[in-house]
């Protein structure tokens, strides 16, 4: 790993020297494609197109929402949103963008080395991880614009999820299963043989959503047991408060009876048993009958907690609950019936319209 870092530092230094030798009077940041704030008088009359309708934020518990898309490329294709450490990140078809999550008006900037399609972003002890499906995944060096490849020794590059434990072990979920590294990615051991897509943890308990349900490990990820089956594939698994939460494909045959295409489950005993928590969401059909504004089949996309509220995004819009999902109220409709993913930084909640990745 030290040799990798040295090689990238030498490359970065050579790149900067090359830019200076060419007599480029722009800053390095401007030279790699970011918009300069001082465009000069010759550009004063030529306004750049402004992106809109991509990402929204709420600072008052979902009562109001502000469009904070300005500065992003027009027709920007977002796959995922991630917030951590005072910053919010957008994984997109054209790279990774970030902004401060404490800014009233986010200023979006593109990560220099990640010019390819980025699928998702994950937290790490010594820097964020970013996955690029079919290419592998990278780790960012804090305080720099450099991202190191972590997948050189990984047999499967279809990385869908990355998780790092407090002791530094790294797990990646791929189409072929779970791989574990205890040496910073220099070598990998396959510990589960089935496609997986999301990790969550509490203490020594690891939870993973896979294509046949939910699996659980209590021995550092060496062995896994199925703890939720018969509910379809599990995905978007996370820890919220004192519970694990996951979205499953559900029983497709039940969609005609309650209008739900998938299911929401929660576990209050560290993943041993799981209970449905979407009954309140399915009651939205009563609003359908009164107002006829929601699609006949509802799809759950994401769930997050911000302050005292749970937020759940459906193809019908964003709903919130103050009683852990017993009842829900609509706080932002989705007129286009699009998929919405969410992220939380403190009490600020972000919602992004997913059109790519």
What does the pLDDT look like over 68-115, one tens digit per residue? 999 999 888 899 999 987 899 999 988 999 998 877 778 999 988 766
What does the pLDDT look like over 110-130, one tens digit per residue? 988 766 799 999 999 999 999
What does the pLDDT look like over 170-204, one tens digit per residue? 999 999 999 999 999 999 999 999 999 999 999 99
pTM, two decimals, is 0.83
Q: How many CA atoms lie within 13 A of 196 on its CB side?
A: 27
What pLDDT does 251 receive? 60
Contact between 329 and 287 (Cβ < 8 Å): no
Measured between alpha carbons, how far is 320 from 95 in angstroms, rounded to an integer?
31
Contact between 34 and 26 (Cβ < 8 Å): no
Q: How far is CA 320 from CA 137, 192, 343, 349, in A?
A: 33, 36, 14, 12
Q: What is the DSSP string of 242-310?
A: TEEEEEE---GGGHHHHSBSSEEEEESSTTSS-EE--HHHHTTHHHHHHH--S-SSB-EEEEEEETTEE
What does the pLDDT look like over 267-289, one tens digit per residue? 999 999 999 998 888 776 555 55
Contact between 232 and 249 (Cβ < 8 Å): yes
Phi, psi of 67 (to 5 degrees): -75, 115
What does the pLDDT look like over 194-246, one tens digit per residue? 999 999 999 999 999 999 899 999 999 999 999 999 899 999 999 999 999 99
What does the pLDDT look like over 33-65, one tens digit per residue? 223 333 344 444 455 578 899 999 999 999 999
């Amino acid at each position: 790993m030290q040799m990798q870092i040295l090689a990238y530092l030498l490359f970065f230094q050579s790149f900067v020297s090359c830019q200076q030798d060419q007599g480029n009077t722009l800053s390095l940041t401007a030279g790699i494609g970011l918009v300069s704030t001082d465009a000069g008088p010759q550009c004063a009359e030529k306004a750049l197109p402004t992106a809109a309708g991509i990402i929204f934020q709420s600072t008052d518990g979902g009562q109001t929402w502000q469009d904070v898309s300005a500065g992003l490329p027009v027709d920007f294709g977002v796959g995922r949103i991630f917030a951590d450490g005072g910053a919010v990140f957008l994984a997109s078809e054209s790279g990774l963008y970030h902004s401060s999550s404490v800014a009233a008006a986010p200023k979006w900037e593109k990560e220099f080395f990640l010019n390819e399609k980025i699928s998702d972003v994950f937290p790490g002890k010594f820097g964020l991880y970013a996955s690029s499906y079919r290419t592998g995944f990278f780790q960012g060096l804090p305080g720099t614009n450099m991202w190191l490849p972590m997948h050189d020794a990984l047999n499967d590059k279809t990385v869908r999820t990355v998780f790092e434990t407090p002791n530094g072990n790294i797990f990646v979920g791929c189409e072929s299963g779970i791989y574990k590294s205890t040496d910073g990615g220099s070598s990998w051991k396959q510990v589960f043989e089935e496609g997986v897509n999301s990790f969550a943890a509490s203490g020594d308990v690891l939870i993973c959503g896979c294509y046949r349900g939910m699996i659980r490990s209590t021995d550092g990820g060496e062995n896994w047991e199925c703890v939720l089956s018969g509910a379809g594939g599990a995905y978007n698994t996370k820890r919220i408060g004192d519970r694990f939460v996951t979205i499953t494909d559900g029983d497709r045959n039940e969609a005609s009876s309650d209008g739900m295409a998938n299911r929401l489950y929660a576990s209050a005993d560290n993943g041993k048993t799981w209970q449905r928590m979407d009954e309140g969401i399915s009651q939205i059909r009563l609003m359908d009958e009164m107002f006829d504004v929601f699609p006949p089949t509802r799809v759950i996309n994401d769930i997050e907690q911000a302050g005292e509220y749970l937020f759940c995004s459906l193809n019908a819009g964003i709903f919130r609950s103050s009683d852990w999902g017993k009842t829900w109220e609509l706080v932002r409709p989705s007129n286009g019936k699009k998929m919405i993913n969410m992220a939380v930084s403190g009490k600020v909640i972000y919602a992004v319209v997913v059109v790519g990745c």
